[in-house]
Amino acid sequence: MGDHNKYTTKTMPYKFNLLYRLSRDGNTAEAFHRKCDNKGATIIIIKIGGSEQIIGGYNPFNWDSRSGYKLTYDSFIFSFTDRRDTKTASVGYSGGISSVGCYSTNGPIFGGYFYCRSDGSIWTAYSTNYFNLSGFPNKSIIAEDYEVFQVIKQLNM
């Protein structure tokens, strides 16, 4: 793989706007929804406490509090078993079933079993309904912190 696979600040086709940070904005589902609902596509990044692992997911839809699931093949979840080594990355794409869940009592939900519990720092992290993913915890985890970024397509790209 050569340098032709890397974006620069001038060629990046997306802008990432930080909407929510657990340590800054509070550890409640209400705080997540207040900051993230109706903002369009987002990417969630979670630093797992006591490790160097980062996991997360991409939601191409708006978050909301309507109590239901949205179906798509365009959502994905990911894992970096070592946040300092991009070679440890793995991505699993939605099978189109329970891709993204929106409930007022929870933060982000992916696939039904990868979700933020109501207190914000404890996650259930199973890769159910997302396929071909290695290195995912498949257990309950404690987030050292997590962030939600709005993904904005650059118009001039």
Tokens for 86, please give them. Answer: 């991009």
| Res 1: pLDDT | 41
Q: Dig out the tokens for 146 from the structure.
A: 């997590």
Residue 6 has pLDDT above 80, yes or no: no
- Predicted model pTM: 0.90
Q: Return the residue matching tokens 């589902």.
A: 29
Instruction: For 70-128, give the DSSP string.
Output: E--SS-EEEEESSTT-GGGEEEEEE-SSS-EEE-TTSS-EETTTEEE-TTSSEEEE--T
The ranges assigned to domains in the chain are 15-153
The yes-or-no verdict on residue 2 having pLDDT over 70 is no
Q: Report d(CA 99, CA 89) in Å as an integer.
A: 21
Q: Which residues pair with 115 in a beta bridge?
A: 109, 124
Per-residue model confidence (pLDDT) at position 112: 79
Give pLDDT tens digits for 46-92: 999 999 999 999 999 999 999 999 999 999 999 999 999 989 999 99
Strands 89-94 and 100-102: unpaired
Cα–Cα distance measured from residue 35 to residue 18, given in angstroms and rounded to the nearest whole number: 10
**pLDDT, position 157:** 55
CA neighbor of 44 nearest in space, from 125, 135, 157, 140: 125
Averaged over 30-39, what is the pLDDT?
Answer: 96
For residue 27, the SS3 value is: coil
Tell me the C-alpha to C-alpha distance, in Å, between residue 36 and each of 12, 59, 129: 23, 11, 23
pLDDT tens digits for 113-130?
888 876 767 888 887 888
